[in-house]
Amino acid sequence: MTHFRIGEAASLLGVSDDTLRRWVADGILTLGHDASGRQVVDGSELAARAKAMATEASDVGDVRRSARNRFTGLVTHLEIDGLMAQVELQCGPHRVITLMSSEAAREMKLEVGSKAVAVVKATMVILETERDAAQ
């Protein structure tokens, strides 16, 4: 069984330790104990919460999209140069950088501090996991 300590579980969900503890107190998540007696959250329960949070965040009204990867964040850097613009978003713990036309950036009235949603549609995704210490 995969389990995560409170700090790591909170980080994976993009919330504070206090928020995770509040969810435990409210019955949204449950705590168990690992072999050392430390408080942990079951990985499958954490995954279900992450999925529920993503569903809540993706509710955008009457718009339908084929892309499921949506990252809401704040513009942290904007560089408009000639025909192209580079836009950097901070979406929770994720940094997303995109290139677009300068015209589009201006029409969207993007500026540092603006809220924006990066919608990603890709045909290939590479996953990485940490190696076990025994490997």
Per-residue model confidence as pLDDT tens digits over 26-62: 999 999 999 999 999 998 898 888 888 766 555 556 6
Would you state the pLDDT for residue 28?
Answer: 93
Q: Chain-wide mean pLDDT for the chain?
A: 85
Give the pLDDT band (50/70/90) at residue 7. Answer: very high
Residue finishing a domain among 57, 79, 98: 57
Domain assignment present for 135: no
Domain assignment present for 63: no
Kindly tell me if the per-residue pLDDT of 135 is higher than 60.
no
Claim to verify: residue 53 and residue 73 sit in the same structural domain: no
Domain assignment present for 128: no
Kindly tell me if the per-residue pLDDT of 4 is higher than 60.
yes
For 108, the domain range is: 69-120
Cα–Cα distance, 84 to 118 (Å, whole number): 17
CATH number of the CATH domain containing 23: 1.10.1660.10
Claim to verify: residue 21 and residue 52 sit in the same structural domain: yes
Domain assignment present for 131: no
Q: 73-92, pLDDT tens digit by residue?
A: 889 999 999 999 999 998 87
CATH number of the CATH domain containing 95: 2.40.50.100
Domain assignment present for 97: yes
Amino acid at 99: L
Domain assignment present for 32: yes
Cα–Cα distance, 87 to 46 (Å, whole number): 31
Burial class for 24, CB neighbours closer than 10 Å (0-12, 13-18, 19+): middle
Would you state the pLDDT for residue 12?
Answer: 84
Kindly tell me if the per-residue pLDDT of 6 is higher than 70.
yes
CB neighbours of residue 112 within 10 Å: 11
- Number of domains within the chain: 2
Domain assignment present for 33: yes
Task: Identify whether the C-beta of residue 69 lies closer than 8 Å to the C-beta of residue 121.
Answer: yes
